[in-house]
Amino acid sequence: MYVYIQTEPTLFTVGFYDPNGKWHPESDHSTRAEAVERVAKLNGGL
């Protein structure tokens, strides 16, 4: 499952955690809304 985390004050990174807890980034976005949209798309929505 893809999620986003805020990695800097104006940077949101989309990615996923593997079963061992390691973070795998997929893309960076300048707004939370862009990150939310990307997560939804990657998780099979929108």
- What is the per-residue pLDDT across 1-46, written as a single tens digit (0 to 9) for each? 999 999 999 999 999 999 999 999 999 999 999 999 999 999 998 6
Whole-prediction pTM? 0.91
Instruction: Count Cβ atoms within 10 A of the Cβ of residue 27 and give its class: 0-12 exposed, 13-18 middle, 19 or more buried.
Output: middle
